Structure 1
Amino acid sequence: MSSCCTAGFQWDGKPVGKETKLANLDTYVSGENKDAAVLIVHDVFGWTLTNVRLLADHYASEAGVTVYVPDFFGGEIVTPDMMENPDETKRLDIGAFMGRHSKDIRGPEIFACAKALKQELGFKKVGAIGFCYGGWAVFRLGAKGKPSCETDRSRSTYKRSADELEGNNLVDCISMAHPSGLEKSEIDNVSVPVQICAPEIDPIFTPELKEHANKVIPELKVEYDYQYFPGLVHGFATRGEVNNPTQKNGLERAKNAAVYWFRQHLSS
């Protein structure tokens, strides 16, 4: 993660969902479909950010799914004021933050939530979408295949934990926008339909990672939708400026792309 992960703008609006629990985590939920669900793995601003809750409401209404946004930061809140206040941003020690919320620490919680959706709540189909911090997580949720999670590519070194191995077949599709922390080996192991919303300017989802995804994923024989957003930057899909026509068009296009993706793969 870098400073671009905390840049952006807050959106106006009043979320219409409610707060509940999922796998013992505080969770925002929107929608009433009992057969299809979407798990959102949030960005650095967490589960309380109005922007992500409004997106959840849109997915629920427009894709006809029930959307869950759990708290994957153990109650820690990064205040939205950091988006537009550089002085506030400097107060966040990103390295320490990532230490508290590393893949090893939060990965099991993310898998527990996906497992709860299918095995406890009984959803027939489940999708997952990750933004920034959540990008790596949805790729791990969508990884199936060899028990060691190694492919025949020598460059792949990622091995899945026991929790993740237990989580096979928990999601039916994934979507992701401007990821942070995503590794090539996690891309190599995806085996469910995958959608990527990629801004042109992104120091974290680099041209090298984009090229890798576009080379490797088609070889994996899964449905693949790569959406490119010229002129836009890391964070646009969750923190774009609604008063800027270019950014507004981009964030709406990303939302519409995800809605279509979920309709296509989660409808009965």
Structure 2
Amino acid sequence: MSDCCKSGFAWGGKPEGSETKIAGINSYVTGTSKKAAILIVHDIFGWTFTNTRVIADHFAKEADATVYLADFFGGEVITVDMMTNPKKQAAFDVAAFLQRNGKEPRWPEIKGVAEALKKEYPKVGAMGYCYGGWAVFRLGAGTGLVDVISTAHPSMLEKSEIDAVKVPVQILAPENDERYLPELKEYSNKVIPTLGVPYEYVYFPGVNHGFAIRGDQSNKLQKESLERAKNSASKFFAQFLHD
């Protein structure tokens, strides 16, 4: 994780869902579908981030799913003012954060929530933003817990996790990304088409890491790109959750 993971823009808006618990973990939930669920694995700003909750509301309506945004940081909240506060960004201890919230500490919780959802819903999708990118690939690696995955500008994603995917997968990739580097983009586009799963790679020129969840809505290109990313993911989930 780097500075690009800590910067961006808060959108405002009023989420329409409610708070509950799933597998013992606090979660925002929105939507009323009994047939399909989507689990969002959040970025560094966590499950309380208004932007992510607003997107969850869109997915619920547009993909006809009940959407869960669970807390995978154990109650730790990174406040949105860090996006525009260089002093707070500089003071943020990334190494310590990842020690608390890295793959091994958090994977059992992510898997546990997916297991709970799969018991309740016939079809389950998973959406990962930034930090959540690696997690949805793990969920899609033949676990039987999800039927489709999508990720926008994934962080911490490894080649072995790409190799293992066994469900339909979508990647929303900005042109400029310090975490999903050109080498890994190239690897994704070389390997995934050989795995026998439906694959959609959507490219967003001129925008940066984080655009799909923290893009500047006052900037025409960023606004159009984040809206296209949301629409692309909604359509992908709708296709594979309702066949």
Shift of 1:39: 0.1
Task: Report the equivalent of 2:112.
Answer: 112
Among 255, 259, 262, the alignment partner of 2:234 is 259
Task: Report the equivalent of 1:151.
Answer: none
SS at the partner of 2:216?
coil
1:42-53 matches, within 5 Å, as 42-53=42-53
Task: Report the equivalent of 1:228.
Answer: 203
- 1:180 matches 2:178: no
Distance 1:203 1:134 in 2: 16
Shift of 1:76: 0.2
| Number of equivalenced pairs | 243
Among 184, 187, 190, the alignment partner of 1:209 is 184
1:1-268 matches, within 5 Å, as 1-119=1-119, 122-144=120-142, 168-268=143-243
Distance 1:171 1:28 in 2: 19
Distance 1:231 1:87 in 2: 27
Shift of 1:53: 0.2
Task: Report the equivalent of 1:160.
Answer: none
User: Amino acid of the residue matched to residue 152 of structure 2?
Assistant: A
Q: Which runs of 5+ in 1 are unaligned?
A: 145-167
Shift of 1:44: 0.2
SS at the partner of 1:90?
helix
Distance 1:216 1:115 in 2: 28
Shift of 1:91: 1.9
Distance 2:179 2:233 in 1: 21
SS at the partner of 2:91?
coil
Distance 1:179 1:63 in 2: 21
Shift of 1:252: 0.1
Distance 1:139 1:62 in 2: 23
Shift of 1:80: 0.5
Shift of 1:141: 0.1
User: Amino acid of the residue matched to residue 132 of structure 1?
Assistant: C
Alpha-carbon deviations, 1:28-83, whole Å to 9, x = none?
Answer: 00000011000000000000000000000000011110000000000000010011
User: Amino acid of the residue matched to residue 116 of structure 2?
Assistant: A
Distance 1:189 1:132 in 2: 19
Shift of 1:85: 1.4
Distance 1:267 1:138 in 2: 19
Shift of 1:105: 0.5
SS at the partner of 1:169?
coil
Shift of 1:88: 1.6
SS at the partner of 1:75?
coil
CA RMSD of aligned residues (A): 0.6
Distance 1:74 1:249 in 2: 33
TM-score normalised per structure 2: 0.99
Distance 2:95 2:124 in 1: 32
